[in-house]
Amino acid sequence: MIDALSFIGHYPFRKLRMEDLNRVINKYVELNFKAIALVRLESLFYRNTNVANKMLLDDLKSVSSEELKIYPLAALNSDTL
């Protein structure tokens, strides 16, 4: 299976149940996913989405998984293009 739109990060006024990327990866592996397309949730709320995009790339530097392919998705804000 492939999750085409997975999120990590904080939602305003609350947080997602699993914030640690290693825990997220382990959960997907446990559920037999082969790949995920991942977005930082903050990119939906920041005016400058590049901040969240860079956060995602930094997060991915600290993890590796041979069992799960992670495709980072950049978020765009058309107002800042």
Q: pLDDT digit of tens for each residue in the chain (81 aa)?
A: 777 778 887 777 666 566 688 888 998 999 999 999 999 888 888 888 899 999 999 999 988 888 999 999 988 876 665
- Other beta carbons within 10 angstroms of residue 5's beta carbon come to 9
Q: 10 and 39 in contact (C-beta within 8 Å)?
A: no
- How many structural domains is the chain composed of? 1
In the structure encoding, which two tokens stand for residue 42, read together? 């903050």
Report the alpha-carbon distance of residue 75 to residue 78 in Å, rounded. Answer: 10
Confidence (pLDDT) at 54: 94
Confidence (pLDDT) at 29: 94
Which domain covers residue 51, as residue numbers? 2-80
Give pTM, 2 decimals. 0.78
Report the alpha-carbon distance of residue 9 to residue 43 in Å, rounded. Answer: 9
Confidence (pLDDT) at 30: 93
Report the alpha-carbon distance of residue 47 to residue 25 in Å, rounded. Answer: 28
